[in-house]
C-alpha cells in the first residue's frame, strides 16, 4: 500500500510547542513557579556542585570540628574537611542518582508496558503477571539484600533499586497504552499507512507522556529518601566519598559535641526531597491544566 | 467469593516462592561460603568437601532451592557470620523490641493520619496549616527527624532519653517481650513509664512519613466521596456532618486508605533500620544495620525473607478484606 501524501495548505506551519509552554508558565500560580524555579536551581547546583565547592571535599581545609562561620558556612568535620564543599559534592551524586533510577524505571517499565499494551494476548498476560509479582515485593528491603550480596558501591545500589522500581511504571504505561491504541487517531494513523515505528513514536508514546511525567516527578522525593536511607546504612559510595546519607551516619558520633556534622548533610537531603515534592505537585498541576 | 479468595491465596504463594527464589539466588552469588562458616576458617579442604556433601551443597540447583524453601518454612535460616548464632534465633531475640516500636508508631501514626485526612477533607479551621506542616515534615529523612529530636528534647530540654529501650538495669524479660506491657503485667509501673519515655521519639520519627502518606490518600478519597450524590442526599435528609463523614465518607474511603497502609509497611521497615540506628534501639533494624558493614548476607537474607513475607501476607490480607467489604473488587478479577 502506497503511503498517502499529506495535503497541506500553502504556508501551513505546525504549531510551535515552545510558545505554548511559555504561555502555560505565565498562567501558573506563583507557588508553582517558585517550586519549578527551585527545581531548576537545585539541578544547576547539583550539576555544578563540585566546581563551585571552595575547598577540596576529600582533604582537610581548616581546623577540625569548626562550627559554621563566615569562612566555613556549614562548619568543618572531625578531620577538618569543609562541610559546605562536601555537601555540594554530595548533592550531585544524590540528585543525579535519583534521576538515573527514575529514568531506568521509566525506560524498563515503559518498554514492558508498551509491549504488553500493544501486543495484547498471551504476551500481555505473561508480562503483567511478572509485573504483578514484582509489584507485590517490597523494594527497600530487597534492595538492601541485593547490595549486600553483590557488595556495596554506588552503582550496585542504583542497580538494586532500579531492579525493583520499574513495575509501577510498567502498569501505568500499559494501562495508558491500552486506552490509547483504540483511540480514533491511532486508527486513522494506521489507515493512512503510517508504519509501526511511526505510530509508536508519533502517535502512541506522546500520549503516555503526561501520565508518566507526573508519576515520575511525584516519585523523585520517594527515591531521594530511599537512596539516602541506603547510603546512611553504608550501601552507597564508600568512604571517604562525600555522600549525604553516609556523611550523616558517620557524623552521628559527633552529634552532641558538633551538631553541624550530622545535621548539615541531613538538611541537604531534606531540601532535595522537599523540592522534589513541591515541584512534583507543580508539574502535576501544570499537566492537569493542559 | 471462594474463587476470589483462592486466586488471591495462590497468587500470594507464588509471590512468596519468588521472594524465596530471589533470596536464594542472592545467597548463591554472595561471596559467603556457608560451609566455611560452619566448620571454621582453620578446617582442611577435605573436611569442607565432606561437610559440603553431607549438607547437600553439591546437589543440583533446583534440589537446593527446594531444600532451602523447606528449611525456611520450618524456621531454619542459615547461621549469621557476625554473631555465629542461627539467624532465626537472632531474629527471635531482636524482634520484640521492633514490634514494640512499630506498635508505638501505629499508636502515633493512625490518629495522625485520621486527623490529617478528616480535617483536610472537611476543611476544618487550621487544617491548611496542619497540612503544610506535615507536608514539609514528611519530606524529611527519618534520620533528620531523629537527630533533630535528640538535639531538642534530649540535649537542650532534657525531657526525653536519646538511646536504648530503657535505662533500668535489669528490665523484665517476658512474658511478652514488650517492656511497656511486661512492666504492667509484673506490677512494675516504673518500667512501663521509663520505656514509654524511650519510645516517644523513635516512634514519632518512624510514624511520620507513612502517616502523612496514608493521610493524603484518606483526604483525597474522602473529598471524592463527599462530592457524591448519596452524600448530597444524606445532607438533604438533615444528617449531621459527623454522621455523614463516618457512615458515607470513611466507609467508602477505607479501601484505598488501607491499601496504602499495607504498602507503607515497606517504608516502615526501611525506617526501622534508620531509626533503630539513630536511637541505638536493639531491634531487627539495628541487627540489619550492623550486619551490613560485615557483609553478613545470611543475617540480611533471613530478615529479608521474614519481613518480605510479612509484607506480602499483610498486603494480601488487605486485598482480601477489601474484597469482602466491596463486591466490585471481587468481580474485577
Q: Does B296 touch chain A (CB under 8 A)?
A: yes
B103: left (phi over 0), alpha (psi -120 to 50) or beta: alpha
The Cα angle at residue B178 between residues B172 and B183, in degrees rounded to 5: 45
- For residues B266-291, give the mean pLDDT: 91
The C-alpha cell at A65 is: 570540628
pLDDT at A108: 92
- For residues A209-233, give the mean pLDDT: 88
Longest dimension (CA), chain A: 79
Taking only residues 82 to 141 of chain B, the set having a beta carbon closer than 8 angstroms to any beta carbon of chain A reads 135-136, 139-141
CB B254 within 8 A of CB B154: no
Please answer yes or no on whether A133 and B15 come within 8 Å at the CB atom.
Answer: yes
- For residues B48-71, give the mean pLDDT: 79
Provide the domain limits for residue A150.
37-49+82-289
pLDDT at A33: 86
Please answer yes or no on whether B209 and A141 come within 8 Å at the CB atom.
Answer: no
Q: Which residue of B has its CA nearest to A269?
A: B141
Q: What is the CA radius of gyration of chain B?
A: 24
How sure is the predictor about A15, in pLDDT bands with cuts at 50, 70 and 90? low
Q: Which residues of B touch A232 (CB under 8 A)?
A: 141, 143, 274, 277
What is the DSSP secondary structure assignment for residue B79, as one 8-state letter?
Answer: B
CB A224 within 8 A of CB A98: yes
Q: Cell 504498602: give the residue.
A: B263
pLDDT at A65: 77
Torsion of CA A168, A171, A173, A178, to 10 degrees: -170
pLDDT at A1: 46
Of the partner residues A144, A221, A256, the one whose CB lies closest to the CB of residue B300: A144
Please answer yes or no on whether B270 and A256 come within 8 Å at the CB atom.
Answer: no
* CA-to-CA dists, residue A231 to A224, A235, B145, B148, B150, angstroms: 10, 5, 17, 19, 21
Q: Is residue A5 part of a domain?
A: no
Please answer yes or no on whether B139 and A277 come within 8 Å at the CB atom.
Answer: yes
Q: Which residue of B has its CA nearest to A244?
A: B141
**Alpha-carbon dihedral sign for residues A227, A229, A233, A238:** positive
Please answer yes or no on whether B292 and A234 come within 8 Å at the CB atom.
Answer: yes
List the CATH number of the domain containing A274: 1.10.3720.10
Q: Which residues of A touch B31 (CB under 8 A)?
A: 151
Q: Which residues of A touch B269 (CB under 8 A)?
A: 138, 140-141
Work out the mean pLDDT of chain B and round it to a whole number.
85
pLDDT at B252 > cutoff 90? no
The Cα–Cα gap between A119 and A252 comes to 53
- How does pLDDT run across B21-50, given as a tens digit for each residue? 999 999 888 877 767 766 666 777 777 777
A183 Cα to chain B: minimum distance (Å): 23
- For residues A202-226, give the mean pLDDT: 87
pLDDT at A191: 87
pLDDT at A12: 58
Say which residues have a Cβ less than 8 Å from residue A215's Cβ, sequence separation at least 6.
Answer: A168, A169, A172
Of the partner residues A142, A148, A262, the one whose CB lies closest to the CB of residue B295: A148
- How does pLDDT run across B155-209, given as a tens digit for each residue? 888 888 888 888 777 777 777 778 888 888 887 888 888 888 899 999 999 999 8
Please answer yes or no on whether A152 and B292 come within 8 Å at the CB atom.
Answer: yes
Q: Does A142 touch chain B (CB under 8 A)?
A: yes
pLDDT at B19: 92
Q: Which residue has the higher pLDDT, B167 or B103?
A: B103
Say which residues have a Cβ less than 8 Å from residue B1's Cβ, sequence separation at least 6.
Answer: B330
At B79, give phi and psi (nearest 5°).
-125, 135
Please answer yes or no on whether B270 and A141 come within 8 Å at the CB atom.
Answer: yes
**Alpha-carbon dihedral sign for residues A147, A148, A149, A151:** positive
Q: Is residue A73 part of a domain?
A: no
Say which residues have a Cβ less than 8 Å from residue B202's Cβ, sequence separation at least 6.
Answer: B101, B104, B146, B275, B276, B278, B279, B281
The Cα–Cα gap between B302 and A270 comes to 32
What does chain A come to in residues?
A: 290
Q: Does A113 touch chain B (CB under 8 A)?
A: no
Taking only residues 9 to 28 of chain B, the set having a beta carbon closer than 8 angstroms to any beta carbon of chain A reads 11-12, 14-15, 18-19, 22-23, 26-27
Q: Is residue A12 part of a domain?
A: no
The closest alpha carbon to B258, from B198, B197, B201, B323, belongs to B323
- For residues A138-161, give the mean pLDDT: 89
Q: Which residues of A touch B315 (CB under 8 A)?
A: 136
Please answer yes or no on whether A150 and B273 come within 8 Å at the CB atom.
Answer: no
Q: Which residue has the higher pLDDT, A20 or B184?
A: B184
B136 Cα to chain A: minimum distance (Å): 7
Q: Is residue A182 part of a domain?
A: yes
pLDDT at A3: 55
Please answer yes or no on whether A144 and B293 come within 8 Å at the CB atom.
Answer: no
Q: Does A132 touch chain B (CB under 8 A)?
A: yes
What is the DSSP secondary structure assignment for residue A254, as one 8-state letter?
Answer: G
- For residues A247-257, give the mean pLDDT: 85
pLDDT at B55 > cutoff 80? no
Q: Is residue A59 part of a domain?
A: no
Q: Does A229 touch chain B (CB under 8 A)?
A: yes
Give DSSP secondary structure letters for B219-259. HHHHHHHHTSHHHHHHHHTT--HHHHIIIIIIHHHHHHHHH
Q: Which residue has the higher pLDDT, B152 or B252?
A: B152
CB pairs < 8 Å spanning A and B: 143
Say which residues have a Cβ less than 8 Å from residue A198's Cβ, sequence separation at least 6.
Answer: A189
Q: Which residue of B has its CA nearest to A253?
A: B278
SS3 state of residue B55: helix
Of A47-56, A184-193, A223-232, B88-97, which gets the smallest average pLDDT? A47-56
Provide the domain count of chain A: 1
A184 Cα to chain B: minimum distance (Å): 27
pLDDT at B332 > cutoff 60? no
- How does pLDDT run across A58-107, given as a tens digit for each residue? 777 778 777 888 877 878 877 878 888 888 888 888 888 899 999 999 99
pLDDT at A17 > cutoff 80? no
In chain A, what percentage of residues exceed pLDDT 90?
A: 14
The Cα–Cα gap between B267 and B306 comes to 15
B230 Cα to chain A: minimum distance (Å): 27
pLDDT at A26: 64
pLDDT at B155: 87
Q: Which residue of A has its CA nearest to B306?
A: A141
How sure is the predictor about A117, in pLDDT bands with cuts at 50, 70 and 90? confident
SS3 state of residue A193: coil
pLDDT at A254 > cutoff 80? yes
Give DSSP secondary structure letters for B162-189. -SSS---SS----SSS-HHHHHHHTT-H
pLDDT at B98: 93
- How does pLDDT run across A170-209, given as a tens digit for each residue? 988 998 888 888 888 888 888 888 888 888 888 888 888 8
The closest alpha carbon to A49, from A83, A87, A80, belongs to A87
Q: Is residue A32 part of a domain?
A: no
Q: Is residue A60 part of a domain?
A: no
| Number of other residues whose CB lies within 10 A of the CB of residue B242 | 11
Amino acid at each position: 500500500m502506497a503511503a498517502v501524501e499529506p495535503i497541506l495548505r500553502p504556508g501551513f506551519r505546525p504549531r510551535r510547542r515552545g510558545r505554548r509552554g511559555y504561555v502555560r508558565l505565565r498562567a501558573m500560580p506563583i507557588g508553582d513557579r517558585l517550586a519549578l524555579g527551585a527545581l531548576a536551581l537545585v539541578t544547576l547546583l547539583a550539576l555544578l556542585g563540585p566546581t563551585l565547592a571552595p575547598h577540596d571535599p576529600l582533604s582537610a581545609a581548616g581546623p577540625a570540628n569548626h562550627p559554621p562561620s563566615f569562612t566555613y558556612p556549614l562548619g568543618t568535620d572531625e578531620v577538618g574537611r569543609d562541610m559546605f564543599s562536601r555537601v555540594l559534592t554530595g548533592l550531585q551524586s544524590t540528585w543525579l542518582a535519583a534521576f538515573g533510577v527514575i529514568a531506568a524505571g521509566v525506560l524498563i517499565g515503559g518498554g514492558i508496558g508498551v509491549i504488553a499494551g500493544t501486543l495484547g494476548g498471551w504476551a500481555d498476560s505473561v508480562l503483567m503477571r511478572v509485573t504483578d509479582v514484582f509489584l507485590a515485593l517490597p523494594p527497600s528491603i530487597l534492595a538492601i539484600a541485593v547490595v549486600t550480596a553483590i557488595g556495596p558501591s554506588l552503582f550496585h545500589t542504583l542497580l538494586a533499586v532500579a531492579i525493583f522500581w520499574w513495575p509501577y511504571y510498567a502498569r501505568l504505561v500499559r494501562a495508558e497504552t491500552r486506552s490509547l491504541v483504540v483511540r480514533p487517531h491511532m486508527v486513522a494513523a494506521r489507515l493512512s499507512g503510517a508504519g509501526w515505528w511511526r505510530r509508536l513514536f508519533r502517535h502512541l508514546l506522546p500520549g503516555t507522556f503526561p501520565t508518566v511525567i507526573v508519576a515520575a516527578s511525584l516519585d523523585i522525593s520517594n527515591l531521594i529518601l530511599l537512596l539516602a536511607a541506603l547510603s546512611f546504612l553504608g550501601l552507597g559510595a564508600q568512604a571517604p566519598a562525600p555522600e549525604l546519607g553516609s556523611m550523616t551516619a558517620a557524623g552521628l558520633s559527633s552529634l552532641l559535641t558538633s551538631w553541624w556534622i550530622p545535621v548539615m548533610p541531613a538538611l541537604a537531603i531534606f531540601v532535595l526531597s522537599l523540592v522534589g515534592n513541591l515541584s512534583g505537585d507543580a508539574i502535576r498541576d501544570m499537566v492537569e491544566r493542559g | 467469593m471462594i474463587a476470589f479468595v483462592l486466586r488471591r491465596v495462590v497468587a500470594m504463594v507464588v509471590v512468596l516462592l519468588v521472594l524465596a527464589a530471589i533470596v536464594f539466588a542472592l545467597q548463591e552469588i554472595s561471596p559467603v561460603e556457608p560451609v566455611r562458616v560452619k566448620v571454621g576458617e582453620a578446617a582442611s579442604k577435605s573436611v569442607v568437601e565432606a561437610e559440603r556433601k553431607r549438607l547437600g551443597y553439591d546437589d543440583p540447583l533446583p534440589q537446593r532451592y527446594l531444600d532451602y524453601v523447606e528449611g525456611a518454612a520450618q524456621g531454619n535460616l542459615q547461621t549469621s557470620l557476625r554473631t555465629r548464632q542461627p539467624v532465626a534465633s537472632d531474629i527471635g531475640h531482636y524482634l520484640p523490641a521492633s514490634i514494640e516500636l512499630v506498635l508505638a508508631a501505629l499508636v502515633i501514626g493512625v490518629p495522625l493520619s485520621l486527623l490529617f485526612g478528616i480535617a483536610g477533607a472537611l476543611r476544618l479551621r487550621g487544617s491548611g496549616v496542619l497540612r503544610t506542616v506535615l507536608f514539609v515534615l514528611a519530606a524529611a529523612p527519618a534520620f533528620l527527624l531523629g537527630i533533630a529530636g535528640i538535639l531538642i528534647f534530649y540535649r537542650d530540654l532534657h525531657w526525653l532519653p536519646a538511646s536504648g529501650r530503657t535505662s533500668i538495669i535489669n528490665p523484665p524479660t517476658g512474658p511478652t517481650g514488650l517492656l511497656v506491657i511486661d512492666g504492667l503485667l509484673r506490677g512494675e509501673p516504673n518500667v512501663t513509664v521509663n520505656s514509654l519515655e524511650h519510645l516517644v521519639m523513635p516512634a514519632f520519627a518512624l510514624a511520620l512519613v507513612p502517616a502523612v502518606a496514608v493521610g493524603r490518600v484518606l483526604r483525597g478519597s474522602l473529598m471524592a466521596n463527599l462530592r457524591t450524590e448519596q452524600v448530597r442526599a444524606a445532607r438533604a435528609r438533615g444528617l449531621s456532618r459527623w454522621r455523614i463523614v463516618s457512615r458515607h465518607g470513611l466507609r467508602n474511603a477505607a479501601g484505598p486508605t488501607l491499601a496504602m497502609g499495607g504498602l507503607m509497611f515497606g517504608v516502615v521497615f526501611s525506617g526501622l533500620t534508620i531509626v533503630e540506628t539513630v536511637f541505638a534501639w536493639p531491634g531487627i533494624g539495628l541487627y540489619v544495620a550492623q550486619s551490613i558493614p560485615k557483609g553478613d548476607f545470611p543475617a540480611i537474607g533471613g530478615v529479608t525473607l521474614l519481613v518480605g513475607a510479612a509484607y506480602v501476607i499483610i498486603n494480601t490480607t488487605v486485598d482480601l478484606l477489601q474484597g469482602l467489604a466491596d463486591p466490585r473488587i471481587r468481580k474485577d478479577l
